[in-house]
Structure 1
């Protein structure tokens, strides 16, 4: 019976071990699902919808191939509405996933023309493009008989993308994006996009029963060996001599003892030899099965790839507009602005400054470059730090223009002294434009920024004529200019907080009075204020107030009032006007970039200056 049980144990153990090994090898499930598509023609852009990328659960791996010779592929992703707005009137190929066939499908999309949209300018967000029935991009004939699509804008380096990869990093990209985000694939807009697209999703290829089956089979094999050895031991004892009871037989005469020869003695006895052979076979079988059972199955080889930053987005409530940028997107934008500003400042190039600056911020930098070209001891404007961003305030919108504010900590200066944080107000005019700095100011030492909406939600832009604030945004500049002229006698003095306002101390009414007193009797000095070149920007705070960015321009007119007299322009004004002295007079214009907190209407709080940037922006000789 023990031999029967041992044989059964051997058979069951072998079946379990083989089944466990088969689950890891022969019957192992696939490690991934793959869908591919080849795009015919030479379209400049491919767009893969987020729904297609989420056709299967798990992280998506996008592989692009077959780009034109010498062209670097570009893979970027952004909100689907933003991608379509960037494409504007450009034709593209939409890549979708067909659940019935498990393959990718392609179709050409021709956006509907919109009035004033401007195909190549991307001046405004266009409606969602409508697909056409054609399966391939509409080609245009060339002189050589080949078919090509019209060249378009280059998507590389756009601030609109949540993340971007180019060159080798774009060939294989791992990402995990939601349904409302789409991927754009292109090169430089001049050459065709890569024509081969493959999307791979991971599959749970785990075999939870493989290891228990192998281990269980090995245990059962050991039990079978034990039963087999026990059966052999019992069988050997049962074949010994048996004595019968009864009368004793008479002793027989002793026969001579038989001595076996050496040859016979060396031959193993049959029963023990059989036992050794029977024991060796199961042990060898157990070792072979154990070694085989420990061999793990091989997984599909993984291709080295670039992994995208995990995209953490909070689903907005119904009817809630998304923020203009995400925090990682803003960090990348600020870094690009910092690098561009550093290059422009180092070369004192107004053309380079125009890449990332506009309005009053550009005006102040252009003037500073012109002054430094003729006045070597003139200080440069504060550098734009790249990080860390301590405050992010994007506008909640899906249209253009878009506004984003950020506060960046400044590093210590060469002497180890702390510097004021820099607050940037950036505007993106169209989907294809990058963000440009409209205001770059240094915060006041005692500035207290009110509670703002989190970056994941964004803030609303307040209309310039809003009556829900203590003072409409478009009136703040003129009111503050009146305070700088008249001090506490200004009609607006009761609305503004004088505590912590260092600009009022530097160029306020008391300073102006001293400047006038220092002018000789042969000349006169007058000050006038007016709105500057900047656009008023106001973004709502959580207490129904607003942060208002505005620009004030102040003119200082030093005029000769006695014939034959002369006035000195000063080194800074001379650098801008080209005139050191004048017999008529000098007009110097100063630009003030200002940031205020304006409380809501009916509040007892006062308007507070949060920061400013100021400097001479122009000078000329009076006629």
Structure 2
């Protein structure tokens, strides 16, 4: 019997081990699923929707090849709506993939007649044409020679992409693209995009039963060997030599049985005694069980029984998962990359005092101040440069929640310590993207006031709304803030807006407010008498009014007031001597008539909601000479 059991154990162990090894080798599933497509060779842009990328679970791997110039190829991904907005007037190819039959379809999409993109280009009349077969074959292009000759926009370096890979880095890209995000594959807009697209998804190749089968088979093998050795041992013992026994020993006589007398017997005899014994045995057993049960019950009673508590299911969804809520204009990593690009562009422009380079990333009041600074520094070597734009880190970001253009983003960047090791105030930036193909431009760049109290803002993952400039829901309309504050700088406590602003810790009023202006006029009169006059006037600059809502129904408002200083000659033969900075910018060192200097202000305010007891307060500012000229 032991040999039979050993043979059975050997057979079962062999089957289990072979089955376990086969699961990891012969019957192992493929490690990945691949879908390949070939697009027309003259296609400049290829779009892969998130539905295709998420056709299988797991991380997606995108491989591209076939580009005529590998240095210009790029792969980027962004929100599907943003990708389509960027491609508004451009012809592109899309890839469709059905996971059930693994069929890849290429479809060419061209803009409708008269459709104009963000750059003003107009597309030709055409309709989307799918590929005639379900295999990766080139789709009809419908491209005319004139279209091929016209260069398209270059998608590389666009601030619209959530992430981007260029050149050799675009050959193989691993990503986890969520729903609502698409991938764009392109060249530089002039050269075609890579025409071979391969998508790969990982497959779960885990074999949970392989290891238990192999281990179980080895255990049975050991048991079979032990049974075999045991059976062999007992079999050999059974076949050993037998010796004959000698004569049997006589049996010993039996001792007489002991019979107790009636006087000594105390135990009752008969049926009643037997019945009593039989009854007592269950009673004793029941008593023992009862005591045991009581002890066990007491033991369990002393130990509190844990009551199952339902675990709340997480209901936190992705930000702006509601289709009715627009997503924030940028994500945090996207904004960090944009700030780094702005920092590099600003450093290049500042090093060369080149306004053309500054225009790549600056606009409005920020560009105006930098342009004037460059002009002054070219003629006045000791003129300090404007603060550099650091590459990070970000201390605060507030993107606009919108799906249209223009888009606005505000950010606060930490400034490094100065040359003496002293901490500098953070730099606040207001960025605006006018169209999908435009990059974010710095409209305002200001230093925050010391110990500034920033109002409660919406999280960056949700974004904030833009308040209309003429909104009456604020204590002061956004489009009136510049004029109101400029009036305070001119007239001080005599201004009608004086009581609406909190000027307790306002450093700008202390520097260039009404008191300072009166001191300058008195100094000039004492030094030169009545030969000239110095007058001040305010006006609103050309910078846009930017208003971002806060959580308390207030707003952060960015404005651009300007102040005009007119130093005019009032006595014949007198001259006005321009300062070194004014002379460098105007090109006039002295004048027999007068010199006009314009100072630009970049200001950020917190404006409370209408009806609030709070006052408008200055959050930060930047100011400087922006223009100067001789007047007649």
TM-score range, shorter-chain basis?
0.7 to 0.9
Query: Cα deviation per residue 1:474-529 (whole Å; 9 max; x = unaligned)?
Result: 00000000000000110000000011110000000000000101112211000010
User: Following the alignment from structure 1 to structure 2, what is the Cα–Cα distance between the partners of residues 423 and 118?
Assistant: 32
Partner in structure 1 of residue 165 of structure 2: 165
User: Following the alignment from structure 2 to structure 1, what is the Cα–Cα distance between the partners of residues 247 and 374?
Assistant: 136
Partner in structure 2 of residue 586 of structure 1: 595
Partner in structure 2 of residue 204 of structure 1: 204
Runs of 5+ in structure 1 lacking a partner?
A: 249-311
Matches within 5 A, 1:14-413: 14-113=14-113, 117-118=116-117, 120-121=119-120, 131-133=128-130, 136-140=139-143, 142=145, 148=148, 150-245=150-245, 314-413=319-418
Query: Cα deviation per residue 1:112-155 (whole Å; 9 max; x = unaligned)?
Result: 2456x3464479xx9xx973456625344559xxx957531111
Establish whether residue 475 from structure 1 lines up as the match of residue 511 from structure 2: no
Query: Cα deviation per residue 1:392-437 (whole Å; 9 max; x = unaligned)?
Result: 0000100011000000010000001111100000000100000000
8 Å Cα contact 1:447-1:500 kept in structure 2: no
User: Following the alignment from structure 1 to structure 2, what is the Cα–Cα distance between the partners of residues 481 and 454?
Assistant: 32
The 1:122–1:174 alpha-carbon spacing in structure 2 relative to 1, beyond 3 Å, is: farther
User: Following the alignment from structure 1 to structure 2, what is the Cα–Cα distance between the partners of residues 348 and 378?
Assistant: 12
Partner in structure 2 of residue 307 of structure 1: none
Partner in structure 2 of residue 616 of structure 1: 625
Aligned Cα root-mean-square deviation (Å): 2.0
User: Following the alignment from structure 1 to structure 2, what is the Cα–Cα distance between the partners of residues 416 and 41?
Assistant: 58
User: Following the alignment from structure 2 to structure 1, what is the Cα–Cα distance between the partners of residues 110 and 475?
Assistant: 49
User: Following the alignment from structure 2 to structure 1, what is the Cα–Cα distance between the partners of residues 590 and 150?
Assistant: 58
Matches within 5 A, 1:430-445: 430-445=435-450
Establish whether residue 422 from structure 1 lines up as the match of residue 431 from structure 2: no
The Cα of 1:19 is off from its aligned counterpart by 0.8
Query: Cα deviation per residue 1:91-113 (whole Å; 9 max; x = unaligned)?
Result: 00011112342132110011224
8 Å Cα contact 1:152-1:189 kept in structure 2: yes
TM-score under structure 1 length normalisation: 0.86
User: Following the alignment from structure 1 to structure 2, what is the Cα–Cα distance between the partners of residues 133 and 174?
Assistant: 27
Query: SS where residue 502 of structure 2 aligns?
Result: coil
The Cα of 1:55 is off from its aligned counterpart by 0.8
User: Following the alignment from structure 2 to structure 1, what is the Cα–Cα distance between the partners of residues 224 and 70?
Assistant: 68
Query: Cα deviation per residue 1:442-501 (whole Å; 9 max; x = unaligned)?
Result: 001031110011101111111110010111110000000000000011000000001111
8 Å Cα contact 1:486-1:509 kept in structure 2: yes
Establish whether residue 530 from structure 1 lines up as the match of residue 539 from structure 2: yes
TM-score under structure 2 length normalisation: 0.85
User: Following the alignment from structure 1 to structure 2, what is the Cα–Cα distance between the partners of residues 466 and 89?
Assistant: 35
User: Following the alignment from structure 2 to structure 1, what is the Cα–Cα distance between the partners of residues 117 and 202?
Assistant: 42
The 1:564–1:77 alpha-carbon spacing in structure 2 relative to 1, beyond 3 Å, is: same
8 Å Cα contact 1:566-1:583 kept in structure 2: yes
8 Å Cα contact 1:88-1:122 kept in structure 2: no
Runs of 5+ in structure 2 lacking a partner?
A: 133-138, 249-316
The 1:134–1:148 alpha-carbon spacing in structure 2 relative to 1, beyond 3 Å, is: farther
User: Following the alignment from structure 2 to structure 1, what is the Cα–Cα distance between the partners of residues 332 and 439?
Assistant: 16
The 1:544–1:69 alpha-carbon spacing in structure 2 relative to 1, beyond 3 Å, is: closer
User: Following the alignment from structure 2 to structure 1, what is the Cα–Cα distance between the partners of residues 503 and 522?
Assistant: 24
My pick for the range that moved more, 84-93 or 106-115, is 106-115
The 1:406–1:247 alpha-carbon spacing in structure 2 relative to 1, beyond 3 Å, is: closer
Query: SS where residue 183 of structure 1 aligns?
Result: strand
User: Following the alignment from structure 2 to structure 1, what is the Cα–Cα distance between the partners of residues 140 and 425?
Assistant: 54
Partner in structure 1 of residue 568 of structure 2: 559
Partner in structure 2 of residue 252 of structure 1: none
Aligned residues: 552
Query: SS where residue 518 of structure 1 aligns?
Result: helix
The 1:378–1:247 alpha-carbon spacing in structure 2 relative to 1, beyond 3 Å, is: closer
The Cα of 1:41 is off from its aligned counterpart by 3.4
Partner in structure 2 of residue 460 of structure 1: 465
User: Following the alignment from structure 1 to structure 2, what is the Cα–Cα distance between the partners of residues 119 and 593?
Assistant: 29
8 Å Cα contact 1:409-1:422 kept in structure 2: yes
The Cα of 1:178 is off from its aligned counterpart by 1.2
8 Å Cα contact 1:50-1:181 kept in structure 2: yes
8 Å Cα contact 1:359-1:438 kept in structure 2: yes
My pick for the range that moved more, 92-101 or 333-342, is 92-101
The Cα of 1:582 is off from its aligned counterpart by 1.1
Establish whether residue 576 from structure 1 lines up as the match of residue 585 from structure 2: yes
Establish whether residue 449 from structure 1 lines up as the match of residue 454 from structure 2: yes
User: Following the alignment from structure 2 to structure 1, what is the Cα–Cα distance between the partners of residues 121 and 55?
Assistant: 31
Query: Cα deviation per residue 1:48-104 (whole Å; 9 max; x = unaligned)?
Result: 001111111111111111111455320000000000000111000011112342132
The 1:407–1:122 alpha-carbon spacing in structure 2 relative to 1, beyond 3 Å, is: farther
My pick for the range that moved more, 131-140 or 200-209, is 131-140
